[in-house]
A and B are shown apart, each in its own frame.
Chain A
Amino acid sequence: MTQKTEQSRSPSEPYSSPHAQVPERHASGPNTPFQHPEPYFNDKTSPCNMGCPAGEDIVEAIYLTAEGRFQEAWELILQENPFPGVCGRVCPHPCESECNRRELDGAICIHAVERFLADYGRSIPRSRPKSRPQRSKQVAIVGSGPAGLSCAYHLALMGYGATVFEALPKAGGMLRVGIPRYRLPRAVLDQEIADIRALGVEIRTNTLVGRDITLDQLRGFDALFIATGFHRGQKMDVPGEEARGVFSGLEILKRVSLGEKIRIGEQVAVIGGGNTAVHVARCLLRLGCRPTILYRRSRGEMTAIDKEINGAQEEGIEIICLAALTQILVRGGWAKGVEFVKMRLSRPDESGRRRQVPKKGSNFWLKVDGVVSAIEELADIEFLPDDIKSESQGILVERGCFTSRKGVFAGGDVATGRATVAHAIGSGNKAALAIERYLKGEDFFSIPESLGTDQILPRKADSGVVRFNDLNPVYFKKELPVPLRARPVKTRVKGFKEVYSGYKAEEIVTEAQRCFSCGVCNMCDNCLIFCPCIAISRRRGKFGYKIDVTSCDGCGICVQECPRDALSFRKVP
């Protein structure tokens, strides 16, 4: 008497009771009959990435740092920038000015991360980016500043031969002879230049193009990149300028940098408001002088990096603004005093600008032992033939780096105007990309304008920049950035030791973990956690997630709850 129940039928048979159901995942097909917008993972551009002139992938590097993957992060930066150690120290970090975190509690200390990574990179066995197979084409580069060297670096990585011609006895441009050691220790610079050399880049120092070798002699090269920077001091056009004891600011920096002796009195007037003026003053202070900076415009108009101006003031350097030099008092051939007239701001003119006008009878004298002319430098490009068009501000370029002569490119300060190291690097990168395409036979017009994005590695991110409003702020709580750590004034003015010190690995990881990762998914799982349709799942063994659009009902929670706007909605056609 067996009891065969109706329930013992095999599951494949047509069902008898629909109420006892076969469980099945994802079985029911489209969830809703109507069409709804569909979410998709869509990384966007973070403001920091957008803000970096050297084109570094900051979000990704910070992400790797936060994970403690320092070497990977360092190598990632090296993909774009051969000078992380330099930039981490000297760059005025426009990336941080863009950082979304400013709106909450202070930008991420991106430069600190960069600096840490570079220092970390120097401390481990070298592993260099692999260059592509050698190619026969050769490129000549004039000027070994950051623009010239980063162009050479990328060309070398691409497999081209690169030869750099440098007028000075040492490579590095302004990094070498402009930026003082207390801001950029030479060991850092030497190491990074050595790394570039190690890729096969040849640097011929003491070779002034136009004197030691003519531009025509470089015709044997398949392409030419000019990045000679701004190196010619300007005349101040005041009586007494020719006296002894009057120096060019750049000259002083050069000599200090190259370790030469300078003889200058105790009281020094430094004329100018740019980086040169500030650094000259701070260098002189360190050499035992008592410098005063005199600038004809207002404090806000000083072109020097703000942090550096503040540093100078901390160190006790007096800055007198709105004071224009009228003459230098010469006694016995030596400069002994300077006369100034106070300036005031005029009423706004039609364009709304307020100019400086001299205040009548406000003249004053300073007794000095020396005067430094540190007003802005100019481009020294007399060696250029006429067919490479230029003007007093530098070489004229189109699309960022093409000069008027085929096969000749220009970058850095001399082409873009006075800027920063990072801009020079970005400009060098861009030139390398353009030169590569030129060498492959593409002509000017086939090279897309978008080449100007300063990036070597192609990015898949959406070009839309994620702003603070696009983030979901509820997911972030306040947490202050790591403080800058400067050497105390008392000790630091006694020598050329670096002013700012680095950070410990834990500090840097903590700082990197503050990053919102704007616009770039970091697998925080929020979308997956909050999807009511369980339509989002991790990709096995890979980064990221997939969305099962048939299960999704288009509620939009994932897009809403993503803290960093890494998801977007799109209409389904």
Chain B
Amino acid sequence: MKKMLTEKEAVSWGAYRSRVQVIAASTPEDLIVEELATLCTEDKRGAKFVMVRSEQAALAVGVGASATGSRVFTVASAHSLVPMHELLYKASLSRLPVVVVDINRAMVPGGLTWTGQIDSLAHRDTGWFQFHCESSQEVMDTIIQAYRISEQVLLPGIVVLAASAASHAVKPVDIPNQKSVDRYLKPCRLINKLDVNDPHSFAVLDTPENCYESYYKMQKAMGKALQVAEKADDDYGKLFGRGYGLVEKYRCQGAETILVTYGTITGTVREVVDQQRARGKKVGLLKVRLFRPFPARLIRSALSKARKVAVIDGEVSPGSGGILHQEVTSSLFKVKPRLKAAVFGFVVGLSGDDIAPDIIQKVVDYTTKRQEPEEKVIWLGVKR
């Protein structure tokens, strides 16, 4: 079923098709929740909506509901993961399969308007897996996949969609039918939950050695999540004819320079790569869709043939550099077989500054002209 949907509506449909049971939200996400409520009311599903006044509260509701064994859906928008920070740990250390859709915005003083990814990137160490999506269609599909992964590895997940200028624009989205989704995504069944017939404690004050162990187990689960996510995407592709891969190699065949990026910038980069290829330049694109767990092995193999790698970051970790850049270099560093490629780290369009194709063009130009990057962080289009 194809429908013309805004991004927010696509999110609602993703959650709706996933048969979410408890929806916790604070008031700003009214559009998504409203649509979801309409959908749920139409077919009398009777999902429970809990509206609270802060994001922290919303996730607290979500965590509670999830611990009780329900499939929970929470929306965070306008860097609202930040107030949820403590709760993120609560969920992951309690190994609760909560899925949060994050309509991401930049962290800027005094405003919530501009696009950015820092909200979710800043929470990369909380033990949540993170998908960064490029389009409404992808968001909707990823939500469904995320529930499956989350419930299999018992880790909470964030599905990120950077709020773009086009986020209110209406685009065609292919909505899978409920029956097939039900075949793909089985009901959530937790063995350990708040169940009066089988009492357990959740998130208790624990000894350091036990907490240490939990982190170790979380790391292991993240490892497993990689395989599970790969399989989830494969299966999704087989069923619905749409797969995305954990990373997407776009025209990387024989590419000498590969641009690596994520999220909504990808669209623009894709355009530029097409232009370059049309001119016979050997330029390719590697889109990182899964940011946590970081698919280092896939990235290494995708970049193995390239001579130059340009990582395009929309966010920076001040004092270090582009966030994706760090991740990519560390996954290439000192791991056999050693890559000979030079890795360039670009920061572009931070805090919602427009990322036009000519900026990406500059990335390509800079990279082709030099053998090695002149500085660790290359800021483009910045007012100095």
Contact = CB atoms under 8 A, between A and B. Distances in A.
Q: In the complex they form, do A and B come into direct contact, defined as C-beta atoms under 8 angstroms apart?
A: yes
Contact of A18 (B148, B184, B210): B210
Contact of A17 (B95, B186, B193): B95
Given A21-B200, A22-B200, A7 B213 contact: no
B152 A5 contact: yes
A450 interface: no
Given A1-B183, A7-B154, A18 B221 contact: no
Contacts of B95: 6, 16-17, 19-20
Interface string A12-36: 0000111111110000000000000
Contacts of A18: 206, 210-211, 213-214
23 contacts: A1-B184, A1-B235, A2-B186, A3-B148, A3-B152, A3-B186, A4-B152, A5-B153, A5-B154, A6-B152, A6-B224, A17-B154, A17-B217, A18-B206, A18-B213, A19-B203, A19-B204, A20-B94, A20-B192, A21-B200, A21-B201, A22-B200, A23-B200
What 10 pairs between A and B have smallest CB-CB spacing?
Answer: A7-B191, A20-B192, A18-B210, A17-B95, A21-B201, A23-B199, A3-B186, A20-B200, A16-B217, A6-B154
Nearest to B186: A3
B151 interface: yes
B343 to A, nearest CB: 36
B189 A19 contact: no
A20 B202 contact: yes
Nearest to B184: A1
Nearest to A17: B95
Contacts of A21: 200-201, 204
Most chain-B CB neighbours within 10 Å: which of A5, A8, A23? A5
Contacts of A19: 93-95, 201-204, 206, 214
Contacts of A3: 148, 151-152, 186, 189
A15 to B, nearest CB: 8
Interface string B225-244: 00000000001000000000
B377 interface: no
B298 interface: no
Which of B192, B202, B214: most chain A CB closer than 10 A? B192
B359 interface: no
B183 A7 contact: no
A22 B221 CA distance: 21
Contacts of B214: 17-19
Contacts, number: 66
Nearest to A5: B152
A25 to B, nearest CB: 11
A6 B184 CA distance: 18
A16 B214 CA distance: 7
Contact of B190 (A1, A5, A22, A23): A5
A6 B152 CA distance: 6
Contacts of A20: 94-95, 192-193, 200-202
Contacts of A2: 186
A52 B211 CA distance: 65
Contacts of B224: 6
B200 A6 contact: no
Nearest to A4: B152
Contacts of B210: 18
A480 B214 CA distance: 66
Nearest to B190: A7
A348 B141 CA distance: 113
Nearest to A21: B201
A8 B191 contact: yes
A102 B203 CA distance: 57
A8 B153 CA distance: 11
A21 B199 CA distance: 8
B198 to A, nearest CB: 8
B186 A6 contact: no
B183 A5 contact: no
Contacts of A17: 94-95, 154, 192, 214, 217
B20 to A, nearest CB: 16
A2 B231 CA distance: 12
A123 to B, nearest CB: 56
A23 B204 CA distance: 13
Contacts of B189: 3, 5
A20 B210 CA distance: 12
Nearest to B194: A20
Nearest to A18: B210
B189 to A, nearest CB: 7
B230 to A, nearest CB: 14
A454 to B, nearest CB: 56
Contacts of A1: 183-184, 186, 235
A20 B183 CA distance: 29
Interface centre among A3, A5, A19 (most CB of B within 10 A): A19
A534 to B, nearest CB: 16
A3 B149 CA distance: 9
Contacts of B204: 19, 21
Interface in B153-200: 153-154, 183-184, 186, 189-193, 198-200
Nearest to B235: A1
Contacts of B221: 6
A240 to B, nearest CB: 97
A19 B94 CA distance: 6
Contacts of B203: 19
B192 A7 contact: yes
Contacts of A8: 191
Nearest to B189: A5
A6 B206 contact: no
With most chain A CB atoms within 10 A of its CB, the pick from B183, B191, B193 is B191
Given A6-B221, A18-B214, A19-B202, 18 more contacts: A1-B184, A3-B148, A3-B186, A5-B152, A5-B190, A6-B224, A7-B190, A16-B95, A17-B192, A19-B203, A20-B95, A20-B192, A20-B200, A20-B201, A21-B200, A22-B200, A23-B199, A23-B200
Interface in A532-554: none
Contacts of A16: 95, 217
Interface in A309-345: none
A23 B197 CA distance: 11
Nearest to A11: B191
B88 to A, nearest CB: 15
